[in-house]
Amino acid sequence: MAKVNDKFELSCPFPFTDYPSITIGHGGGGKLTSQLIEKIFRVFFANRYLDAGHDGAVLEIEGLKLAFTTDSFVVNPLFFPGGDIGSLSVIGTCNDLAMCGARPLYLSCGMILEEGLGTETLSRITCSMKKAAGEVAVQIVTGDTKVVDRGKGDSVFINTSGIGLIEHGRMVGPAAIKPGDAIILSGDVGRHGVAVLAQREGLQFETSLVSDVAHLTPAVLSLFAAGLEVHCLRDLTRGGLATSLVELAEAAGADLVVEESRIAVSEPVQGACEMLGLDPFYVANEGRFVVLLPQSQAEKALSLLKAKEVSAEAAIIGAVSSSASGRGRAVLKTPYGVERLLDRLSGEQLPRIC
């Protein structure tokens, strides 16, 4: 154990004792990640922005409403079907801004390079970032590069942080979710995680598995442009659809009830998941999100989403109901009429998929 002086001990009253050390599962986006955040980060950094449990912070500076978010990318391998760490690092952070209802404007780029990384590889990744940024007219305006010794990193890690402008008056987030809201899912789930895993493990499937990584900004902004009263948005990254629904239900204190039969899973993803023993509802996506808004506006939202390629297969998968206990739950109704209570991802299903 590290030597801790008295003064430090006194002012750090919350040692995280459930686990003496960090495990791979703490990065999985599920239960352990949630514990780590609650027991360390939110204890020390407590403020209303973090407490909102959103994909980013919504700030008001001198009357201007901005979204601010950060994400580090450690995906392995660096290149996978449908994308690479560069495109992912730009799209992922832009998507987090979009989930705050913001238009992405500016990104930062912090690179941690491992000694020995090929400069051609770095060029390809940087080029890919540039292209992804161009797709939603976001600019990479500030950066930093560090190099660590061979064996102390893994080729390249990228952090992107982003600033987005909120151009409407709505407060979008878990706190705005209301009983009666429809839950819309933008497309089939599980592609990204399975595509990265297949690439990493060198698995061959009959049909090609391609990541769903894609910008969600245009689809999201079309909802606001139409004046729809969007209550909450969430992209379904680490932990997948199921973990996201649980997080939203708990943060909102309402029940999110979805029907299994309405949630699309492509045949290649279904097949790969069966082979690998994965539940596609817990597999990460990088181009899928849920929208929660009043039932009366669901059809209009659906038609706007279907007009964008990224959400052409959008579907209403369920609705929000009030929680008897006050503690929100995510409930999956199976085709056999059984109700299954969803829980956060346990452990680490698929490490380093983003």
Name which of residues 151 to 210 contact a second copy (CB under 8 A).
151-154, 157, 159, 161, 163, 165
In sequence order, what are the residues at sequence separation of 6 or more whose Cβ sits closer than 8 angstroms to the Cβ of residue 164? 56, 66, 67, 68, 69, 94, 97, 98, 100, 102, 103, 104, 105
**Cα angle at 71 between 175 and 258, to 5 degrees?**
40
Please, what is the minimum distance in Å from the beta carbon of residue 295 to a second copy? 31
Pick between residue 39 and residue 333 the one whose CB is nearest to a second copy. Answer: 39
Cα→Cα distances 103→49, 216, 288, Å: 19, 11, 17
Q: Which stretch binds a second copy (CB under 8 A): 116-124, 196-204, 224-232, 277-285?
A: 116-124
CA gap 267, 84 in Å, rounded: 23
Pick between residue 112 and residue 252 the one whose CB is nearest to a second copy. Answer: 112
Q: Which stretch binds a second copy (CB under 8 A): 106-114, 296-304, 316-324, 330-338?
A: 106-114
CA gap 257, 342 in Å, rounded: 10
Cα→Cα distances 154→61, 78, 112, 221, Å: 38, 10, 9, 36
CA gap 232, 244 in Å, rounded: 12
Pick between residue 180 and residue 347 the one whose CB is nearest to a second copy. Answer: 347
Q: Which stretch binds a second copy (CB under 8 A): 60-68, 210-218, 290-298, 335-343?
A: 60-68
What separation, in Å, do the N-terminal and C-terminal C-alpha atoms of the chain show? 31
- Amino acid making up residue 204: Q
Pick between residue 99 and residue 223 the one whose CB is nearest to a second copy. Answer: 99
Name which of residues 38 to 57 contact a second copy (CB under 8 A): 40-41, 44-45, 47, 49-50, 56-57
Contact 233, 307 (CB under 8 A): no
Residue 77: Cβ within 10 Å count = 12
Binding a second copy (rule: CB under 8 A), the pick from 53, 81, 135, 147 is 147
Kind plus residue range of the DSSP H or E element containing 150? none
Binding a second copy (rule: CB under 8 A), the pick from 91, 109, 221, 269 is 109
Name which of residues 314 to 353 contact a second copy (CB under 8 A): 348, 351-352
Kind plus residue range of the DSSP H or E element containing 206? none
Binding a second copy (rule: CB under 8 A), the pick from 94, 98, 99, 113 is 113
Task: Please provide the DSSP assignment of 55-79 as one string.
Answer: SSEEEEETTEEEEEEEEEE--SSSE
Task: Please provide the DSSP assignment of 228-295 as one string.
Answer: ----EEEE--TTHHHHHHHHHHHHHTEEEEEEGGGS---HHHHHHHHHHT--GGGS--SS-EEEEEEG
Q: Which stretch binds a second copy (CB under 8 A): 113-121, 251-259, 311-319, 326-334?
A: 113-121
Please, what is the minimum distance in Å from the beta carbon of residue 293 to a second copy? 24
Please, what is the minimum distance in Å from the beta carbon of residue 229 to a second copy? 24
The tokens describing 223, both together, are: 């909802």
Contact 32, 26 (CB under 8 A): yes
Please, what is the minimum distance in Å from the beta carbon of residue 129 to a second copy? 7
Name which of residues 7 to 26 contact a second copy (CB under 8 A): 8, 11-12, 14-17, 19-26
Name which of residues 122 to 141 contact a second copy (CB under 8 A): 122-124, 126-127, 129-131, 133, 139-141
Please, what is the minimum distance in Å from the beta carbon of residue 155 to a second copy? 9
Pick between residue 122 and residue 176 the one whose CB is nearest to a second copy. Answer: 122
Please, what is the minimum distance in Å from the beta carbon of residue 40 to a second copy? 5
Pick between residue 232 and residue 293 the one whose CB is nearest to a second copy. Answer: 232
Binding of a second copy at residue 117 (CB under 8 A)? Answer: yes
Please, what is the minimum distance in Å from the beta carbon of residue 273 to a second copy? 23
